[in-house]
Structures are given as C-alpha cells and as structure tokens.
Amino acid sequence: MARPTLGHVLLAAPLVAVTAWVMLRGRAALQDPAAVLAALRAAHGPHLPAPTSAGAASSSDPASYDRETLYQFIDGAADGYLARGFERCVAATFNFPGSSTLDIDAEAYRFAEPTGARAQLEAERPRAAHPVMGLTDAWADDTTLVVVSGRDYLKLTALSPRPAAETAMTRLAMVWAEEQRR
C-alpha cells in the first residue's frame, strides 16, 4: 500500500474545503427558521393574503395558473405577460362587508425577474392613477390598484365602483406588501 504523498494531500484539500463550506452553510440555514421560511415562500410562488388579515369577510378559493394555463385565465393579454417572463399566478375574489357588498378581484403574478413585474405594472397602470400613500411602487384609480414587490406583481380590481373600493384595495395591497417583506 502506497503512502499518501504531498500531491495526494493537495488534491484532497479543495474537496475538504468545499465539504466544510457546505456543512457550515447548511448549519446556518437550519439555525434560522425565518430564512428557511422566506426561501420556501419565494420558491412556492406568488400568494394572496388571508381575507381576515385584510378586513375582508371572505374570498373565493384561489385559482393557480402557470405558463401553460395562463390563457385560460386571461386569454387576450397572456402574450404580454409571457413576453415579460411570467411564471405563475394566483387569483381570488375578496368580499368586503359594508352597507353593500364590495367584491375585489385579486391577482398576484410571479415573474422571472423584477424587471418583468415592473414592466407589467407600467403596461397596466391606469392613465388616471395616482401613487398610493404608504406603498412603494403602487398606483390606483377608482377601480384598479397595481403594485410591484420584487418579482411579484399584484393587480386589484373593484368589480363595482364604490367610495370604499379604493380604501379596501389599499388595505389589501398593504397586507400583501407587508407579507412580501417577511
């Protein structure tokens, strides 16, 4: 049996260094559950907040769409989303209580890059939209609110214009944006 030489040690040293680095990085991730949760949430895709967290009475069951099924949801506009790097979408209708029921369609889209999400916001931002106080990269008019956070784009549409629509959309968008930061 041959004894290890300096050449053998030099060949094994990078392997030992890489193994030690991987073990240390893995141990650090295990010690930080918030980092693990954030990574899982980012890998899972876009999300919508729970209805009660945004002041809604209820919401429809969320529907999910990917690159192959987006045409079933938005047939005419799917090409623009796909060209900008669309990956996944989740959509639901939120019902807000009040003097009369207010319904808001919520659509959260995930793009491959933040530039795709921002480009979609610019393409769909209403002409008469104004910046939304308290939210960065958010625009609203009487019936529509659009906001972007990283690779995710949220589009809210009030199904019937009411004075409370913009307030409800803003509340829903603020909860969504806060959950994006977690």
Domain CATH for 162:
3.40.1000
What does residue 62 show for φ and ψ, rounded to 5 degrees? -65, 140
Same domain, 75 and 119: yes
Find the domain containing 14 and state its range.
Answer: 6-31
Same domain, 65 and 149: yes
Residues 6 or more apart from 21 whose CB is under 8 A from it?
Answer: none
Radius of gyration of the chain (CA): 23
Same domain, 21 and 52: no
Same domain, 13 and 94: no
**Number of domains making up the chain:** 2
Same domain, 21 and 92: no
pLDDT tens for the chain, 182 residues long, are 677 777 766 676 777 777 777 777 766 655 666 665 555 555 567 999 999 998 898 889 999 999 999 999 997 889 999 999 999 999 999 998 875 779 999 999 999 999 999 999 999 999 999 999 999 999 999 899 999 999 999 999 999 877 789 899 999 999 999 998 87
